[in-house]
Amino acid sequence: MAVKKSNSPAKQVKTERTESPKEDMVFSWANYKWMLLGVLIIVVGFVLMAGGGSDNPAEFNYKEIFSWRRIGLAPMVVLAGFGVVGYSIMKRFKK
**Each residue's pLDDT tens digit, 4-27:** 555 665 666 666 666 555 567 788
Domain extent listing, the chain? 22-90
Q: What are phi and psi of 54, to 5 degrees?
A: -110, 165
30-44, 46-60, 61-75: segment of lowest average pLDDT:
46-60
CA 69 to chain centre: 24
Is this prediction's pTM over 0.85? Answer: no
Parallel, antiparallel, or unpaired for β 12-15 and 2-5? antiparallel
Residue 20 CA to residue 16 CA, distance in Å, equals: 11
Do the beta carbons of residue 42 and residue 82 sit within 8 Å?
yes
Do the beta carbons of residue 39 and residue 86 sit within 8 Å?
no
Nearest alpha-carbon partner for 79 in 41, 22, 24, 50: 41
Most confident of 56-60, 78-82, 91-95: 78-82
Residue 56: its pLDDT value, please?
A: 77
Residue 83 CA to residue 88 CA, distance in Å, equals: 9
Residue 72: its pLDDT value, please?
A: 93
pLDDT digits over 41-54, tens only?
Answer: 999 999 999 876 67
